[in-house]
Amino acid sequence: MEKGYVQIYTGNGKGKTTAALGLALRAAGYGMKTYIGQFMKGQHYGELDAIKMLKGLVTIEQYGLQEFCIPENPPNAKQVKAACDGLEKMREVIKSEKYGIVVMDEITTAIYFKLIDLSGVVELVKSKPKSLELVITGRYAPDELIALADLVTEMKEVKHYYKKGIVARDGIER
């Protein structure tokens, strides 16, 4: 691509990661390579297996632990290390210019949970190559990132079956 933009998918509604994965799928249809770094995720999700079917067009790595991450004060040191290692990997991936699209999945939530510092993410966004499409997902997108973005979509929860006790289902939420 001649010009890549910064996209943010944020909000409390369902679908932020799914939107980013859909973009990766669409790009793969045109032979474009996408890298997805998932912050705070270390569990098995269906997309991990599905992406293997895309034969090297989409790469996905997780920067989280098996246990679900919850906000703590101070934050869990192991979760902090995983997120910081992930941010360093994102720097390498972006600098490599091997991908047309890079997705930083759940990175705004990692900032909110104080696992990584906002300033490092802002610096990374500002340093992206001109042709790279950069996608940022997660709840609580900070104003500083929103100001840098070219496209911001807020997923708004209107109604959710979790509130009726429905747990995450394979193939739908995970």
What DSSP line would sit under 17-33, residue for residue? HHHHHHHHHHHHTTT--
> On the CB side of 48, how many CA atoms lie within 13 Å of its CA?
12
pLDDT (tens digit, 9 = 90+) per residue, 17-55?
Answer: 999 999 999 999 999 999 999 999 989 999 999 999 998
Residues 6+ apart with CB under 8 A from 11: 139, 153, 154, 155, 156, 157
Which domains, ranges and CATH numbers included, belong to the chain?
A: 6-11+21-156 (3.40.50.300)
pLDDT (tens digit, 9 = 90+) per residue, 98-149?
Answer: 999 999 999 999 999 999 999 999 999 999 999 999 999 999 999 999 999 9
Alpha-carbon gap, residue 132 to 150, rounded angstroms: 13
- Locate tokens 């289902």: which residue? 169
Q: Tell me the CA end-to-end span of the chain in Å, nearest whole number.
A: 31
